Amino acid sequence: MAEVAAGSSAAPAETADAALRNRTSLRPLLALKPYLARHPLMVALTIVALTMAAVATLVLPLGVRRMIDLGFAGGNGAFVDRYFGVMVAIGMVLALASA
Question: What does DSSP assign to residue 9?
Answer: -
Report the pLDDT value the prediction gives residue 24, as an integer from 0 to 100. Answer: 80
Report the pLDDT value the prediction gives residue 9, as an integer from 0 to 100. Answer: 55
pLDDT at 10 over 60: no
pLDDT at 8 over 60: no
Query: 35-79 pLDDT, tens per residue?
Result: 999 999 999 999 999 999 999 999 888 888 887 777 776 666 777
Q: Name 87's Cβ contacts closer than 8 Å, sequence gap at least 6.
A: 60, 63, 64, 67
